[in-house]
Amino acid sequence: MSEITDTARYIDLVREDNERFFRAEGRRRRYYVDTYGCQQNESDSEILRGLAESMGYEPASDTQEADLIVVNTCAVREHAEMRTLGNVGAMSHIKKKNPDLLIVMTGCMMSEAHMREKIKKSFPYVSGTLDTNSHARLPELVWSFLGDRKRRYYYDENRDVLAETEGLPRVRTNGVKAWLPIMKGCNNFCSYCIVPYVRGREMSRDAGAVLREARELVESGEKEITLLGQNVNSYRGIEGGFPALLRLVNAIPGEFRIRFMTSHPKDAGEELFRAMADCEKIAGNLHLPFQSGSDRILREMNRGYTAAGYLEKLRLARAYRPDLDITSDVIVGFPGETEEDYLATEALVREAGFLSLFTFIYSRREGTRAARIPDDTPEEVIKDRFQRLLRTQDAISREKNEAMVSKTVRVLYDGVTREGDALTARTPGNRLVSVKADPSLVGSFGDVRITSASTWSLTGEPVGTEEH
């Protein structure tokens, strides 16, 4: 029997049990998915929610009222892990109130052996763990728990999660912008990074399945599709690789935007930039993490390019797409980073002209190569470099945003501001614009004139007639 059939069988069994519960209790069991980490995890959580709803659970508005809590974890930095464990710790009192509550932990932390041990020993109210390749086994875990209330730890890095989750329903929460995973895993083994260890080897999703889903998303009214992978440029699901896939997604009729992440500088080349120039639906943003401006550190990081090589890539990308807003990731405080290395990073930031930069302080990850490099840079020195780099980039971001004032741009209205008094919208480069406009515009494109700018965002007003 195939795994998909197993998944379907357990879904049916749990669904029947949930129906019995409903008849006896007069309410349906509820689920809550708590998501940490990157877009890949957000996308995985859509499958987890889809599985929960197929099993007959209703969404809960918070963990307090849930009968099933799935915690989808991230292992990329120690801070993320600590925060997650703290929040899971706080769930013990929910379990005390409701002994039938099933708490499942999944995601990247659950692919780390020492973390599974920790959960086993110190978090007795967590009743099951699933690694990222075993998501399709959630119904089996739930069914077994409903039967005997025993704890179970599923870990099998060799499962083909792409095949096992293909075709499972997703519960997307946005309605305007959709994640579309095109691959899983990572083969790059950057020396600081845990992802290749917790996500396993790279595998590309079948191009036919990707295109089918993209078409369905457009037909169902989604206005932005982000193709997802740890390194989309090594997509192998079609001849011609990622640029060929982009061209096919671009050929789907309708007004929608295409985005993708993440690109690795060693694999992003002229074919990609040419496709970006030819495809009108590919929005003008490129996220291209550089990690460090020091060639010595880049070598130690196993990144496969130099600072000059990186900047040359940016020049080439902008030659093909002059409208590009480029964003990036950088790590400060890699083991053994000297002031000179740091200054090389700062110099690269000044030259690159990023719209924005995600700046991370290096976090030692057990099992990675960098974890073995001696590290004696004092914490205050690293924090000081971090602040200096933030200041450097903030000035550039502000300048880039101020240059937009009085220009007219096409935006996608994608939501309402937190204060509720304006709409949020995104430029092709993915800059955030707040616009006072009718909430019925959410989910449509419109032209906006930029009236003011700050470091992080823009303000604008609608021009001309809006289209729905």
The binding site for ligand SAH (CB under 6 A) comprises: 76-77, 192-193, 195, 230-231, 262, 264, 289, 291, 329, 331, 360, 362-363, 365
Given candidates 51, 74, 217, 218, which one binds ligand F3S under the rule CB under 6 A? Answer: 74
Question: Residue 409 is inside which H or E element, if any?
Answer: strand 408-416
Give the strand pairing for 152-154 and 432-435: unpaired
Asked whether position 108 contacts ligand F3S by CB under 6 A, the answer is yes
Amino acid at 243: P
Where does residue 354 rank: exposed (0-12), middle (13-18), buried (19+ CB within 10 A)? buried
Give the strand pairing for 408-416 and 445-453: antiparallel
Q: Pick out residues in 378-407 that bind ligand SF4 (CB under 6 A).
A: none
User: Is 424 within 8 Å of 414 (Cβ atoms)?
Assistant: yes
CA nearest 417: which of 401, 434, 429, 432?
Answer: 434
Asked whether position 193 contacts ligand SF4 by CB under 6 A, the answer is yes
Letters for 143-182 (x = contact with ligand F3S by CB under 6 A, - = none) are: ----------------------------------------
Letters for 370-409 (x = contact with ligand F3S by CB under 6 A, - = none) are: ----------------------------------------
Integer Rg of the chain from CA: 23
User: Is 219 within 8 Å of 178 (Cβ atoms)?
Assistant: no
- DSSP character string of 416-464: E-TTSSSEEEE-TT--EEEE---GGGTTSEEEEEEEEE-SS-EEEEE-S
Give the strand pairing for 423-426 and 152-154: unpaired
Asked whether position 264 contacts ligand SF4 by CB under 6 A, the answer is yes
Given candidates 69, 70, 75, 458, which one binds ligand F3S under the rule CB under 6 A? Answer: 75
- The partner in contact with residue 196, picked from ligand SAH, ligand SF4, ligand F3S, none with C-beta cut-offs of 5 to 8 angstroms by kind, is ligand SF4
Given candidates 11, 52, 76, 314, which one binds ligand F3S under the rule CB under 6 A? Answer: 76
Query: Looking at 72-80, 89-97, 123-131, 366-374, which segment touches ligand F3S (CB under 6 A)?
Result: 72-80
What burial letters (b/e) apply to 287-322, b meaning 16+ CB within 10 Å? bbbbbbbbbebbebbebebebeebbebbebbeeebe
Q: Pick out residues in 25-54 that bind ligand F3S (CB under 6 A).
A: 37-38, 40-41
Asked whether position 327 contacts ligand SF4 by CB under 6 A, the answer is no
- What is the closest distance, in whole angstroms, from the C-beta atom of residue 196 to ligand F3S in the complex? 10
Binding site for ligand SF4 (CB under 6 A): 186, 188-190, 193, 195-196, 230-231, 264
